[in-house]
Structure 1
Amino acid sequence: MIADTGASQTAPRAHRARNGAIVAVIVVLLLGTDQATKAFFNQFPVGSVVAGPFGDILCLRTVHNTGAAWGMMDGATVLLGVLSVAVVAVLLVFLFVLAPDASPLSAVAVGLVAAGGIGNAIDRFALGYVVDFIQPLFIDFPVFNVADIGVTCGFVLLVLSLLLQRPASDSENPEPAN
């Protein structure tokens, strides 16, 4: 007997369409916000405190970052840009090819990482640095931007979504004895 593959492919196709819409909306909104805020802060001289401090919580200060967080890989902006694009490509392949039935949470996660990765890659390739402007004051932490928030939150959500989707192993759900 030959199985009807049309019905079995309808669900993954619908999931891909739903996830594609989720990713597209998140990328447009977050990438737009990221690029607009960076353009605003990039008008000010490097090191300028544009606003704040707001209590002992944070201030908004313009920084040009040619490396990664905490000064790692300083000057490797092109390499980090290429790495960002590669990570985004791998995550999109994961979501749309390897896991076509992925949850909406996975799509949100990939959308956040993609928007953040693309936002920082645009800066790296167009400007030669990433514009950072959110400086925490209550902790020793690097200055960051909207794209960094997207990447960080997206990776946390991706790990969470993968843990929630993890199939139960046979030892966790033993079949009843006959």
Structure 2
Amino acid sequence: MREFLDRRGAGAATPDGSPSRCGLKAVAFVCMGIMWVLVDLYTKSLFADVKVGQLVAGPFAGIFDIRLVHNRGAAWGMLADSTFALGVFSAVMCGAAFVYFLFTVKRASWLETIGLALIVGGGVGNAIDRFIQGYVVDFIEATFIDFPVFNVADIGVTCGIVLFMLGVLMSGAHIEDSAAEKAE
């Protein structure tokens, strides 16, 4: 892994000996992903002695409740009882996102880096649930709209996608601006 990052420029140092931006992004990616998995697993562990369906707390400002749900499918009950297949899909997508990051670390923006780390961290958190327990522990229930019960891993995936897409759009706009300046 270290050799791969060195070849990609992710582990290289600048002439003054300080870590390169690519190296910092790689460290941030790994740390953010691991941190998100740990926070997700910790929050889920708080419900070990709670009965499924039990209202634990809430409502909070009329926005959400804390209610334990064991999700054996995807959002809105889609793909019910497809836990293993969804776990495999999640693991494959997380692996693909990680490999994509390794190949794009030099040109990836910080938004793209953090976004991908949150996506991978959230995906790994839910995959761990699927493979170990046979379901995903969900506990945040929106009360003001009809929305699936979700967890910290889902927040990571959703926010990660938004940050990644913003990073892609912003870097695309930067490239277009640079090209327009060169053309003048």
Range class of TM-score, shorter chain: 0.7 to 0.9
Indicate the residue corresponding to 2:118 in structure 1: 112
Provide, for residues 46-98 of structure 1, a one-character-per-residue CA deviation record: whole Å limited to 9, x for no partner.
00111112242111000000111011111111111111111111111111114
- In the alignment, is residue 65 of structure 1 matched against residue 80 of structure 2? no
Structure 2 runs not aligned, ≥5 long? 1-7, 13-19
Indicate the residue corresponding to 1:19 in structure 2: 25
Q: Displacement of 1:101 after TM fit?
A: 2.5
SS in structure 2 at match of 1:41? coil
Preserved CA contact (<8 Å) 2:25 2:105: no
Seen in structure 2, the aligned counterparts of structure 1 residues 94 and 47 have a Cα distance that, compared at 3 Å, is same
Indicate the residue corresponding to 1:136 in structure 2: 142
Looking at CA atoms only, which structure, 1 or 2, has the larger radius of gyration?
Answer: 1
**Which residue among 161, 164, 168 is the counterpart of 1:158?**
164
Of the structure 1 ranges 95-104 and 52-61, higher mean CA displacement relative to structure 2 is found in 95-104
Measure, in 1, the Cα distance between the counterparts of 2:138 and 2:103. 34
Structure 1 runs not aligned, ≥5 long? 1-8
Seen in structure 2, the aligned counterparts of structure 1 residues 45 and 108 have a Cα distance that, compared at 3 Å, is same
Q: TM-score, normalised by structure 2?
A: 0.83
**Which residue among 34, 41, 46 is the counterpart of 2:52?**
46
Question: What letter corresponds to residue 68 of structure 1 in structure 2?
Answer: A
**Which residue among 143, 152, 172 is the counterpart of 1:146?**
152
Q: Displacement of 1:99 after TM fit?
A: 4.4
Indicate the residue corresponding to 1:168 in structure 2: 176
Measure, in 2, the Cα distance between the counterparts of 1:78 and 1:22. 30
How big is the alpha-carbon RMSD for the aligned residues of Structure 1 and Structure 2?
2.1
Q: Displacement of 1:108 after TM fit?
A: 0.5
Preserved CA contact (<8 Å) 1:12 1:101: no
